């Protein structure tokens, strides 16, 4: 490594104890061993700036040091993939229009710790970060989706939980709405494992032509190219954010942690987006190759070093040229801080004036936000050294490959002894009553209170919006009938009981949801929210979960060829999600599944459409109520989570997709949380709870009726015209499955369920509506 001009930290000669004290004093998350490793790698003592840089590059958040090896088992390539998980976002194949291949860009991230500490800003910057990841691929950002996990709204910490939940929803709305990116899907679960550590995951999607992808790398001939930083003036906000994400939340350090949360500015981002789209347009028109990357974790340092490293170059950056809004910031704060609303460009000097003009003059960034602008801060160099200068002195001089390579840990695993047992519950005397309690549970109840706070209509792409069906659908190319569906899923309680099967269920449900509207699952992302990877049991849960994702993705395969996996094209790992007492949150591999349909006009929703049509059940009801809402309202958790039979699951999903494609179904809903009962109730109500068609169902089961109605074993209920019964049955028969005709839709505005000729449920639509529409509203009050 080359030399530096400023004083170095004498790590080599310091004792472990002194290093430890030094680390603490400087709020570094590095371990003593890691500091020693830095000196080996760079062959000398590091400067404070260099230590801070490694501190971020080697954080779990940036380096995936615990997870990287485990993640290798996931399928990430295949016929539906344009780009797998290597840059800021993955890209899944979409329609071909006039010979032009389009892709859907998808990225998925967590913003858990910031949202727990400062919920509005934390959630808002979560949206702000993920949309940057999608934009920087050169895409138009067309949607977001929000899987949320909050604590128990009636538990010991209910007041703070409610505050967090409401402020998170406000934060998501407060950022996504002004930016003009519609919400397409989401889910929310409440349970006490999230009391001290909520999960705020965000998925973002974009549309791009394959040939117009902009890579997060300096172009091949980039020597001497300008490095341009554009956006908000750098301050100290969000300094250490990546490292913060990689630590357990500590109440005593709350004030310090608040400083690690970034400050959102959707207004500036809105204009940055529009200006950046103009840069894309002009560069494409002139055939200019550029490198572009968003600035998230590790700020300018991570963005510029990774851009240059991927192109095989180094960088020479003058920290004094970076536009700042605070005085006397140390160089490592300027270089590594996570001030929001910024991007890095790598541009040939001949094109630089165009970029500066678009941002600074045409879109008047300096007028829009104080100090905001586009500015040259350095050059790409042939040498692979990453040099930072401050006051004319070199404060960092490290080979860019060493800096960005990260480190790996082989974490210890140990089986987590769980010991869950099945309860023995007395059979309920009144099924209508218990059914209403289930519909009223915040995990089941209508989520309109949340999604009507989000703009679902901006950009005019919506076909099916949140609440209407199991997945949202957009028609992203004006004038083209191709649509894509999106669903986000994972039930945390299943994973508390069985991390492997919980993960499998997450994937299966996401695919079922996409199939239920008629789309073929094409690709997925995962946001893996777990506890402390240094705890062997927690790490074991993580590994088991990834195994579950792998098995489900490869065995419930892509319908296009019936053998390729439905791949994971991008994802994120968030460790250190724990309660203040050190208990991990429920293992939460949250899945987003994107599905494709060549004609969105064929899509169907869950709401019953016609009186007198036939209702069908696919998927056997089994004694699998572990983690179910039914057990929860009885104060139990149980042990038997739904077991997914991969082959049956695949065939059931394919059968539903084929039936919808042939126009044979009127409505369809998957069976999951709340079981058969909740499924049929929601079909009667519809997303807006304005349904007027009832249902009369006759079941004939040897299962006890509570298990029959409330088991969350996978399945579908669908509505079809009587004349299509044989066609539907024969499609399912070809897949080796029987479906059962369970009853009729009725003019009578009620839900009637008979089992073995005995009436067990008789509820009016108004009663269903009352319970279902008020559950979440009351929970959040």
Q: What phi and psi values does residue 604 have, to the nearest 5 degrees?
A: -125, 160
Provide, rounded to whole angstroms, the least separation between the CB of residue 459 and other proteins.
6
Provide, rounded to whole angstroms, the least separation between the CB of residue 460 and other proteins.
4
Residue with smaller CB distance to other proteins, 473 or 639? 473
| Piece of the chain touching other proteins by CB under 8 A; list 424-432, 465-473, 535-543, 723-731 | 465-473
Quick one: how far is CA 671 from the chain centroid?
A: 22
Choose which of 121, 133, 455, 578 interacts with other proteins (CB under 8 A). 455
Provide, rounded to whole angstroms, the least separation between the CB of residue 128 and other proteins.
15
| Piece of the chain touching other proteins by CB under 8 A; list 53-61, 325-333, 452-460, 558-566 | 452-460
Q: Work out whether 603 is an interface residue with other proteins (CB under 8 A).
A: yes
| Piece of the chain touching other proteins by CB under 8 A; list 34-42, 246-254, 300-308, 473-481 | 473-481
Provide, rounded to whole angstroms, the least separation between the CB of residue 177 and other proteins.
6
The beta-strand segments (E) located in 100-165 are 100-110, 140-150
Site for other proteins in 323-382 (CB under 8 A): 362-364, 367-368
Which residues share a beta bridge with 387?
316, 397
Residue with smaller CB distance to other proteins, 260 or 450? 450
Q: 3-state DSSP call for residue 226?
A: strand
Choose which of 63, 373, 605, 614 interacts with other proteins (CB under 8 A). 605
By CB under 8 A, the count of residues binding other proteins is 43
Judge residue 767's burial from the number of C-beta atoms within 10 Å of its C-beta, 0-12 exposed, 13-18 middle, 19 or more buried. Answer: middle
Provide, rounded to whole angstroms, the least separation between the CB of residue 267 and other proteins.
4
The beta-strand segments (E) located in 350-460 are 373-381, 385-390, 393-399
Site for other proteins in 702-731 (CB under 8 A): none
Choose which of 452, 622, 643, 749 interacts with other proteins (CB under 8 A). 452
Site for other proteins in 431-450 (CB under 8 A): 448-449
Provide, rounded to whole angstroms, the least separation between the CB of residue 383 and other proteins.
41
61: annotated active-site residue: yes
Provide, rounded to whole angstroms, the least separation between the CB of residue 303 and other proteins.
25
Site for other proteins in 238-277 (CB under 8 A): 266-267, 270-271, 274
Choose which of 457, 598, 700, 778 interacts with other proteins (CB under 8 A). 457
Q: What phi and psi values does residue 255 have, to the nearest 5 degrees?
A: -65, -40
Which residue reads 């710790």 in tokens?
A: 113
Residue with smaller CB distance to other proteins, 459 or 764? 459
Residues 6 or more apart whose Cβ sits within 8 Å of residue 303: 293, 294, 295, 296, 343, 344
| Catalytic-role residue among 111, 215, 490, 669 | 111
CA dihedral 671, 436, 588, 654 (to 10 degrees): 10
Report which DSSP code applies to 425. P
Look at residues 743, 632, 650 and name the one whose alpha carbon lies nearest to residue 696: 743
Helix then strand then coil, % of the chain, to nearest 5: 40, 25, 40
Residue with smaller CB distance to other proteins, 475 or 618? 475
- The DSSP result for 567-634, as a single string, is -EEEEEEE---B-TTSPBPPPEEEEEEEEEES-GGG---SS---TT-EEEEES---S--TT-HHHHHT
Judge residue 252's burial from the number of C-beta atoms within 10 Å of its C-beta, 0-12 exposed, 13-18 middle, 19 or more buried. Answer: exposed
Q: Work out whether 216 is an interface residue with other proteins (CB under 8 A).
A: no
Q: Work out whether 572 is an interface residue with other proteins (CB under 8 A).
A: no
Euclidean distance between CA atoms 48 and 26, whole angstroms: 9
Q: Work out whether 463 is an interface residue with other proteins (CB under 8 A).
A: yes
Residue with smaller CB distance to other proteins, 36 or 453? 453
Residue with smaller CB distance to other proteins, 376 or 458? 458
Provide, rounded to whole angstroms, the least separation between the CB of residue 731 and other proteins.
21
Choose which of 133, 294, 316, 468 interacts with other proteins (CB under 8 A). 468
How many helices (H) and strands (E) the chain has is answered by 27, 26
Residue with smaller CB distance to other proteins, 42 or 776? 776
111: annotated active-site residue: yes
Q: Work out whether 462 is an interface residue with other proteins (CB under 8 A).
A: yes
Choose which of 3, 99, 392, 479 interacts with other proteins (CB under 8 A). 479
Residue with smaller CB distance to other proteins, 19 or 514? 514
Residue with smaller CB distance to other proteins, 459 or 698? 459
Residues 6 or more apart whose Cβ sits within 8 Å of residue 608: 666, 667, 683, 684, 686, 691, 693, 695, 719, 745
Choose which of 120, 600, 654, 772 interacts with other proteins (CB under 8 A). 600
Choose which of 20, 354, 383, 459 interacts with other proteins (CB under 8 A). 459
Choose which of 96, 286, 421, 481 interacts with other proteins (CB under 8 A). 481
Q: Work out whether 611 is an interface residue with other proteins (CB under 8 A).
A: no
Could you write out the three-class secondary structure of 311-323?
HCCEEEEEHHHCC
Provide, rounded to whole angstroms, the least separation between the CB of residue 329 and other proteins.
26
Choose which of 392, 460, 562, 635 interacts with other proteins (CB under 8 A). 460
Q: Work out whether 465 is an interface residue with other proteins (CB under 8 A).
A: yes
Site for other proteins in 167-206 (CB under 8 A): 170, 173, 177-180
| Piece of the chain touching other proteins by CB under 8 A; list 248-256, 348-356, 578-586, 597-605 | 597-605
| Catalytic-role residue among 61, 215, 323, 490 | 61
Provide, rounded to whole angstroms, the least separation between the CB of residue 456 and other proteins.
6
Report which DSSP code applies to 136. T
Provide, rounded to whole angstroms, the least separation between the CB of residue 271 and other proteins.
5
Return the number of other C-beta atoms located less than 10 Å from residue 169's C-beta: 25
Enter the tokens of residue 522: 């094409």
Give whole-number Cα distances, 777 to 153, 678, 781, in Å: 11, 18, 6
Euclidean distance between CA atoms 585 and 199, whole angstroms: 9
Q: Work out whether 685 is an interface residue with other proteins (CB under 8 A).
A: no
Judge residue 582's burial from the number of C-beta atoms within 10 Å of its C-beta, 0-12 exposed, 13-18 middle, 19 or more buried. Answer: exposed
Residue with smaller CB distance to other proteins, 456 or 628? 456
Q: Work out whether 601 is an interface residue with other proteins (CB under 8 A).
A: yes
Provide, rounded to whole angstroms, the least separation between the CB of residue 51 and other proteins.
39
Q: Work out whether 456 is an interface residue with other proteins (CB under 8 A).
A: yes
Provide, rounded to whole angstroms, the least separation between the CB of residue 634 and other proteins.
31
CA dihedral over 578, 713, 664, 650, signed as positive or negative: positive
Give whole-number Cα distances, 20 to 11, 35, 83, 239, 333, in Å: 10, 10, 42, 21, 21
Judge residue 723's burial from the number of C-beta atoms within 10 Å of its C-beta, 0-12 exposed, 13-18 middle, 19 or more buried. Answer: exposed
Is the CB of residue 751 less than 8 Å from the CB of residue 765? yes
Enter the tokens of residue 532: 């402390």
Residue with smaller CB distance to other proteins, 490 or 669? 669
Report which DSSP code applies to 178. H
Residues 6 or more apart whose Cβ sits within 8 Å of residue 750: 694, 762, 763, 764, 765
Query: Which chain residues interact with other proteins by CB under 8 A?
Result: 170, 173, 177-180, 266-267, 270-271, 274, 362-364, 367-368, 448-449, 452-460, 462-465, 468, 473, 475, 478-479, 481, 600-601, 603, 605, 688, 777
Q: Which residues are catalytic, by number?
A: 61, 111
């Amino acid at each position: 490594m080359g030399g530096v001009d400023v004083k170095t930290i004498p790590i080599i000669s310091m004792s472990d104890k002194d290093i430890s004290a030094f680390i603490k004093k400087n709020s570094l998350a590095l371990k003593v061993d890691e500091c020693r490793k830095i000196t080996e790698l760079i062959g000398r003592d590091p400067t404070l700036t260099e230590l801070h840089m490694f501190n971020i590059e080697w954080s779990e958040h940036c380096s995936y040091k615990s997870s990287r090896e485990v993640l290798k088992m996931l399928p990430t390539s295949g016929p539906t993939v344009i780009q797998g998980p290597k840059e800021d976002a993955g890209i899944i194949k979409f329609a071909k229009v006039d010979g032009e291949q389009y892709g859907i860009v998808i990225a998925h991230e967590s913003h858990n710790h910031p949202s727990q500490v400062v919920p509005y800003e934390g959630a808002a910057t979560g949206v702000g970060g993920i949309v940057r990841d999608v934009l920087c691929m050169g895409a138009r950002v067309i949607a977001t989706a929000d899987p949320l996990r909050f604590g128990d709204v009636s538990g010991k910490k209910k007041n703070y939980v409610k505050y967090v939940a409401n402020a998170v929803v406000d934060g998501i709305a407060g950022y996504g709405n002004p930016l003009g990116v519609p919400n397409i899907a989401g889910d929310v679960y409440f349970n006490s494992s999230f009391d001290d550590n909520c999960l705020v995951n965000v998925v973002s999607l974009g549309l791009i032509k394959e040939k117009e992808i902009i890579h997060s790398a300096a172009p091949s001939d980039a020597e001497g190219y300008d490095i341009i930083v554009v956006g908000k003036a750098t301050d100290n906000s969000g300094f250490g954010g990546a490292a913060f994400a990689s630590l357990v939340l500590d109440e005593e350090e709350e004030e310090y942690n608040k400083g690690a949360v970034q400050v959102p500015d959707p207004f500036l981002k809105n204009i940055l987006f529009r200006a950046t789209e103009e840069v894309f347009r002009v560069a494409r028109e002139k055939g200019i190759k550029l490198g572009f990357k968003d600035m998230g974790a590790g700020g300018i340092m991570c963005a510029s070093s990774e851009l240059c490293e991927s192109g095989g170059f180094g960088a020479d950056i003058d920290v004094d040229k970076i536009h700042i809004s605070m005085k006397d910031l140390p160089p490592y704060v300027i270089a590594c801080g996570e001030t929001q609303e910024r991007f890095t460009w790598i541009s040939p000097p001949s094109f630089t004036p165009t970029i500066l003009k678009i941002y600074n003059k045409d879109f008047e960034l300096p007028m829009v936000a104080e100090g905001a602008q586009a500015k040259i801060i350095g050059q790409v160099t042939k040498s692979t050294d990453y040099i930072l200068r401050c006051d004319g002195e070199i404060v960092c001089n490290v080979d860019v490959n060493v800096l960005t390579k990260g480190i790996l840990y082989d974490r210890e695993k140990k089986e987590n002894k769980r010991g869950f047992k099945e309860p023995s519950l007395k059979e309920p005397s009144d099924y209508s009553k218990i059914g209403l309690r289930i519909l009223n549970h915040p995990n089941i109840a209508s989520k309109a209170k949340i999604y009507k706070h989000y703009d679902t209509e901006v950009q005019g792409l919506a076909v099916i919006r949140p609440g209407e069906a199991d997945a949202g659908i957009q028609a992203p190319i004006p004038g083209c009938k191709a649509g894509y569906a999106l669903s986000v899923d994972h039930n945390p309680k299943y994973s508390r009981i069985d991390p492997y099967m919980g993960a499998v269920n997450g994937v299966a449900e996401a695919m079922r949801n996409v199939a239920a509207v008629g789309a073929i699952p094409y690709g997925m992302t995962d946001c893996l929210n777990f506890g402390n990877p240094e705890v062997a049991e927690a790490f074991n849960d993580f590994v088991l979960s990834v195994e579950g994702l792998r098995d489900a993705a490869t065995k419930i395969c892509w319908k296009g060829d019936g053998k390729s996996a439905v791949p994971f094209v991008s994802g994120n790992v968030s460790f250190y999600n724990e309660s203040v007492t050190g208990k991990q949150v429920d293992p939460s591999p949250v899945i987003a599944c994107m599905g494709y349909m060549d004609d969105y006009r064929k899509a169907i929703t869950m709401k019953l459409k016609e009186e007198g049509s036939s209702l069908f059940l696919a998927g056997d009801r089994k004694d699998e109520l572990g983690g179910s809402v039914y057990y929860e309202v009885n104060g139990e958790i149980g042990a038997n989570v739904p077991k997914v039979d991969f082959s049956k699951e695949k065939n059931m999903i394919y059968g539903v997709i084929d039936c919808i494609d042939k126009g044979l179904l009127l409505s369809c809903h998957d069976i999951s949380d709340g079981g058969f009962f909740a499924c049929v109730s929601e079909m009667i109500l519809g997303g807006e709870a304005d349904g007027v068609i009832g249902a009369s169902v006759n079941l004939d089961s040897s299962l006890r009726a509570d298990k029959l109605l409330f088991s969350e074993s996978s399945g579908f209920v669908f509505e079809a015209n009587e004349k299509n019964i044989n066609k539907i049955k024969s499609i399912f028969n070809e897949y080796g499955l029987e479906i059962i005709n369970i009853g009729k839709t009725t003019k009578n505005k009620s839900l009637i369920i008979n089992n073995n000729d005995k009436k067990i449920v008789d509820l009016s639509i108004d009663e269903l509506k009352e319970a279902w529409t008020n559950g979440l509203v009351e929970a959040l009050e």
